[in-house]
Structure 1
Amino acid sequence: MWSILDKITEQVTKFSTFFGQLWYILVFVFRLIVVVTLGGAVYGDEQSSFKCDHKHDYCGTICYNQFAKMSHLRFWGFQLLAVTFPTVLFHFFSLYISSEIEKINELEKAIGFDPDNQKVTEIDGKERELKKISRKKKAVGKVKTKKVYSGGSIKEVQVTNKIYVAYFISTVMKLALEAVFIYFSYTLYYIEDPRCKYENALADHETIPKCDDSFVDHVLMNRVPPTYTCTDDGADFRTACATSGALGWENAVVTCFPSRPYEKTVFLRYMNILSFVCLLLCVLELLYMPIKYMLRKAYHNRPKKAPQTVYIYRNPPPEMNWGNDTASTAGESVVNRRSIAYTETKP
Structure 2
Amino acid sequence: MDWKFLEGLLSGVNKYSTAFGRIWLSVVFVFRVLVFVVAAERVWSEDQGHFDCNTRQPGCTNICYDFYFPISHTRLWALQLIFVTCPTFMVVLHVAYREDRERKYKAKNGENTRLYTNTGQKHGGLWWTYLMSLFMKTTFEVLFLYALHYIYDSFRLPRKVQCDISPCPNLVDCYNSRPTEKTVFTYFMVGASVVCIILNICEIFYLIAARVVTMKQRRSAHTKRCNKIID
- Tell me, yes or no, whether TM beats 0.5: yes
Any idea what SS the aligned residue of 1:229 has? strand
Q: CA deviation at 1:170?
A: 1.0
Assess if the C-alpha contact under 8 Å between 2:36 and 2:74 holds in 1. Answer: yes
Any idea what SS the aligned residue of 1:144 has? coil
Match of 2:141 among 178, 186, 195: 178
Q: CA deviation at 1:276?
A: 1.4
Any idea what SS the aligned residue of 1:145 has? coil
Larger helix share, 1 or 2: 2
1:93 corresponding residue in structure 2: 94
Matching residue's letter, 1:28: F
Any idea what SS the aligned residue of 1:301 has? helix
Q: CA deviation at 1:304?
A: 4.7
Cα distance in structure 2, aligned partners of 1:159 and 1:45: 46
Distance 1:107 1:10, change over 3 A: farther
Mapping for residues 145-294 of structure 1, pairs under 5 Å = 145=118, 157=120, 160-190=123-153, 218=154, 222-230=155-163, 232=164, 237-238=165-166, 240-242=167-169, 247=170, 253-294=171-212
2:59 corresponding residue in structure 1: 58
Describe the superposition over 1:173-229 as per-residue Cα deviations: whole angstroms up to 9, x where unpaired: 111111111110111122xxxxxxxxxxxxxxxxxxxxxxxxxxx5xxx21111112
Q: CA deviation at 1:105?
A: 2.4
Could you tell which deviates more after superposition, 52-61 or 262-271? 52-61
Q: CA deviation at 1:21?
A: 1.4
Segments of 5+ residues of structure 2 without an aligned counterpart are none
Assess if the C-alpha contact under 8 Å between 1:87 and 1:170 holds in 2. Answer: yes
% same residue? 30
Describe the superposition over 1:98-141 as per-residue Cα deviations: whole angstroms up to 9, x where unpaired: 2211222233226xxx55xx9xxxxxxxxxxxxxxxxxx5xxxx
Distance 1:90 1:5, change over 3 A: farther
Distance 1:276 1:159, change over 3 A: closer
Aligned length: 224
Compare relative contact order (CA 8 Å, sep 6+) and give the higher one, 1 or 2.
2
Cα distance in structure 2, aligned partners of 1:79 and 1:9: 18
The CA RMSD measured in Å over matched residues stands at 2.3
1:295 corresponding residue in structure 2: 213
Cα distance in structure 1, aligned partners of 2:76 and 2:38: 16
Assess if the C-alpha contact under 8 Å between 2:90 and 2:129 holds in 1. Answer: no
Cα distance in structure 1, aligned partners of 2:117 and 2:216: 18
Cα distance in structure 2, aligned partners of 1:29 and 1:254: 41
Distance 1:159 1:18, change over 3 A: closer
Q: CA deviation at 1:11?
A: 2.4
Higher-Rg structure is 1
Q: Normalised by the size of structure 1, how large is the TM-score?
A: 0.59
Segments of 5+ residues of structure 1 without an aligned counterpart are 119-136, 138-142, 147-156, 191-217, 248-252, 308-347
Cα distance in structure 2, aligned partners of 1:35 and 1:79: 12
Mapping for residues 129-144 of structure 1, pairs under 5 Å = 143-144=116-117
Cα distance in structure 2, aligned partners of 1:68 and 1:14: 40
Cα distance in structure 2, aligned partners of 1:268 and 1:92: 33
